[in-house]
Amino acid sequence: MLIRDAKHDDIPAIIVMGQRFFDASGYDDLTDYDEQSAAATFAMLIDSVDGVVLVAEHEGVVVGTAAALVFPFFFNHTHKHAQEFFWWVNDEARGAGVRLMKELEQKSCDLGAQSLTVAAVASLKAEAVGAVYRRAGFRPSDSTYVKRLQSCL
């Protein structure tokens, strides 16, 4: 399994994984999955000096991806923080997930990040994902909640 920086040529495969993540995440009660928006987001992260987009590749096929953005922490701009946006590994390559996350940490660190926030989406085996994060040295920080704002539509 090869973990490497994503290229623009990888975006179609990343979009497919993004759809799988979206379908499993429960975000479909907020909006529809838009491939053009996903492609633009990944292209922006690949091109950004503060973006990290990685892929896990097996025998020339992209089977996993992770992405993060590094930015000045809102409470102290001298501290650079990374926020994971997306982490997905296809079922057939689940073993690559931990390696992908470790490489996301390293790449974020290489961009100057001193900390990293990762998420465990409630509908995607959050307890199991949380256990993986804790074994990797992460600690629970907060819980997030989401609501579609009907009055604003």
Domains of the chain, residue spans: 2-135
Rounded Cα distance between 102 and 29, Å, is 31
CB 93 within 8 A of CB 56: yes
Least confident of 36-50, 80-94, 108-122, 138-152: 138-152
What share of the chain in percent tops pLDDT 70? 99
Local structure of 83: helix, strand or coil: strand
For 2-135, the fitting CATH number among 3.40.630.30, 3.90.470.10, 3.50.50.60, 1.20.1580.10 is: 3.40.630.30
Least confident of 54-58, 92-96, 107-111: 92-96
Instruction: Give the mean pLDDT of 4-22.
Output: 96
CB 68 within 8 A of CB 116: yes
Higher-pLDDT residue of 122, 24:
24
Higher-pLDDT residue of 35, 152:
35
Q: How many helices (H) and strands (E) does the chain have?
A: 4, 5
Assign residue 108 a region (left: φ > 0; alpha: ψ between -120 and 50; beta: otherwise): alpha
Provide the b/e sequence for 21-49 (b: ≥16 CB within 10 Å). bbeebebeeeeebeeeebbebbbebbeee
CB atoms within 10 A of CB 102: 12
Q: What is the pLDDT of residue 122?
A: 78
